[in-house]
Amino acid sequence: MIHRVIGYRARQEFAAAMRFDEKEHPQIPPAGTAPPPRLLYLHVPFCERLCPYCSFNRVVFEEDLCRRYFDALRKEIRLYRELGYTFGGIYVGGGTPTVLIEELAETLAVARDCFPIREISVETNPNHLTEKKLLRLRDSHVNRLSVGVQSFDDGLLKRMDRYEKYGSGETIARRLKELRGVFDTLNADMIFNFPSQDLDMLKRDLDILTDIEAEQVTFYPLMISDMTRRKVVDALGNVNGGNEKRFYREIVRRLVPAYRFSSAWCFSRKGTMIDEYIVDYDEYAGLGSGSIGYLNGICYANTFHIPAYIDQVNRGRLPLMATRTFSLRDRVRYDFLMRLFGGSLNLKGLEEKYPGRLYRVLWLDLALFSLIGAIRYTGEDYRLTDQGRYAWVIMMREFFTAVNNFRDFCRGGLGGGNTPA
C-alpha cells in the first residue's frame, strides 16, 4: 500500500513539473562565473530499427540527413562555448550514437577542443561492437561504453524486433565478454518487468551477467509513456506491475555484494559514470534534436523536428522550443530526489546551496520517508535503506515516465513533423 501511495504521489507531482512554457523566444540562462559541475549531453536520434517501448526522440537512419545532423550538432557545441559555458563530462545517447562512427568521432573531437572534458560515455547497440567502431571510440577517449542489451532471452528479443538485427542472447553475451578490459567501464544496459517475462527468465539474464563480469550493470524497470503503451501491448503484452518489486529484489540479491550501488538501479564494481548522469552532475546541457537540459534552475527542450533543428543551428541560433523555470521548492526537491537516487543526501552540501531554506522545503519529506524506513540519518547525511531503494525505483520510474510523456507531447505538437512511426 505504501508503494502504491508513493507511486501515485510521484506521478502527480512529476506530471505537473513537466508542464513547459511555449515561448516565442525561449532562452537558456547565462553561464555564470562559478558554475557547478556540468555535463554535456549529446543526442543522436538515428536508429536502424525502432524499439516499441522507447520514447526518446528517434527516427529511422538516413545517411544524408544524419551527416547534416552531426554537422549541426558540432555547430551547436561551438555555440555553447561562445556563450561561456564549460563542461567536464560528455554523455552521448540516442537513438544509436555509433550509427556513423566517423561523424561521432569528429563531434567528440570538437567537444574536447572546446571544453576541458575528463570523461566520455557513449551508448551503442550489440551489432555495433565491431573492431573498427571500437577502435574509433578508444581513439576518441571514450571511457565508458554502455551497450543496450535489454535482455538475453531470445523470445523477448524477437518480440522487441531486436533478434534479427542484434543477434541471439548467446551472441550478445559473447560479444560483451570479449569487450572486458577494452574500456575503463563496460555497462550492460538491461530492462526488467517486460510483459511475459517471468522470474526464471530474469534469473537466466542474471546468470549470464554474472558470467560476463562487466564493470557495470544498469537494470531499470520498463517505463511506458502514454503514446508507446499501445505499441508495447501489441508487441509484448500487458505489463504485470505486481512483479516489479519481486524482480527488483532478485536483481539486488544476485548482484550485491559483487557490485555496489551507484544508484537505486545501477550496480558498479568501481566508481565511474552512470547512465543516470543526473546523479553525478547538478546541471547538464542538452544538445541535439529532442534533448532536454537543466541549467541554473531552468529546464529546457530543443526542437524535436530534425530539419528545423538543423536550420536553426545553421542560422547561429540555439534550437530551443520550450522552457520551464523551476521554483525554489522545485529545485530543492529535484536535488533531494536525485541525490538520494544516488544513495545519499549530504546535508552540509545542500545547505550551502540553499542557505536557510533547505529544511523549510524538505522537513515533511525527511520526516515521512524516515517514518516509513526508507531513509536513515547517519549524523552527517541521509542514506537510502534497503526498503528505500525500491521506493526510489518507483519514484524515478514515475519521473522518467513523466519526461517520456513530455517527449511524446513535443513530438505530437510543439516539435513539428518528423514523427517516427
> What residues have CB less than 8 Å from 236, skipping those under 6 apart?
52, 53, 156, 159, 160, 194, 195, 196
C-alpha distances out from residue 294 to 243, 274, 297, 305, Å: 33, 18, 7, 20
36-91 per-position pLDDT tens digit:
789 999 999 999 877 777 767 888 899 999 999 999 999 999 999 999 999 999 99
Q: Region 328-349: what's the mean pLDDT?
A: 93
In whole angstroms, give the CA distance from residue 369 to residue 366.
Answer: 5
Show the domains of the chain with their CATH numbers.
Answer: 23-282+406-414 (3.20.20.70)
- Omega before 412 within 30 of 0, i.e. cis: no
- CB neighbours of residue 144 within 10 Å: 22
Helix (H) or strand (E) holding 227: none
Note the pLDDT tens digit of each residue in 341-375. 999 999 888 999 999 889 899 999 999 999 999 99
- AA letter at 242: G
- Given a contact cutoff of 8 angstroms between Cβ atoms, the answer to whether 12 and 316 are in contact is no
* Alpha-carbon dihedral sign for residues 386, 392, 397, 400: negative
CA distance 227 to 260: 35
**Burial of residue 417, with CB atoms counted within 10 A of its CB: 0-12 exposed, 13-18 middle, 19 or more buried:** exposed
| Cell numbers for 337 | 530526489
Q: And the C-alpha cell for 122?
A: 557513449
Looking at per-residue pLDDT, the higher value among 389 and 380 belongs to: 389
Q: Please say if the pLDDT value at position 391 is more than 50.
A: yes
DSSP class of 37 = P
Q: Determine whether 274 is exposed, middle or buried from the number of CB atoms within 10 Å of its CB (0-12, 13-18, 19+).
A: buried
Q: Are 345 and 382 in contact (CB under 8 A)?
A: yes
- The DSSP string of 97-112 is GGGGHHHHHHHHHHHH
For residues 336 and 364, give the distance between their C-alpha atoms in angstroms, rounded to a whole number.
Answer: 12
CB 239 within 8 A of CB 222: yes
Q: Where are the alpha helices (DSSP H) in 213-283?
A: 229-236, 244-255
Query: Residue 290 has which C-alpha cell?
Result: 529532442
pLDDT band at 270 (very low <50, low <70, confident <90, very high): confident
Residues 6+ apart with CB under 8 A from 159: 196, 235, 236
Tell me the pLDDT band of 22, cut-offs 50, 70 and 90.
low
Write the CB contacts of 46 (distance below 8 Å, at least 6 apart in sequence).
58, 59, 60, 61, 62, 65, 66, 69, 94, 95, 96, 99
At residue 232, the pLDDT reads 74
**Residue 147 bridge partners (DSSP):** 124, 188
Whether 100 contacts 130, CB under 8 Å? no
Rounded to the nearest 5°, which phi and psi values hold at 142?
-75, 125
Question: For residue 157, what pLDDT is reported?
Answer: 94
User: Taking Cα atoms as reference points, which of 232, 225, 263, 264 lies closest to residue 248?
Assistant: 264
Mean pLDDT of the chain: 90
Query: Is residue 47 a contact partner of residue 59, using CB atoms and an 8 Å limit?
Result: yes
Confidence (pTM): 0.93
Question: What mean pLDDT do residues 214-235 have?
Answer: 83
- pLDDT value at position 415? 40
Average pLDDT score over residue span 297-324: 94
**Which bin fits 314, alpha (ψ -120 to 50), beta or left (φ > 0)?**
alpha
Residues 160-211 pLDDT 10s: 888 988 999 999 999 999 999 999 999 999 999 998 899 999 999 999 999 9
Report phi then psi at 192, rounded to 5: -125, 165
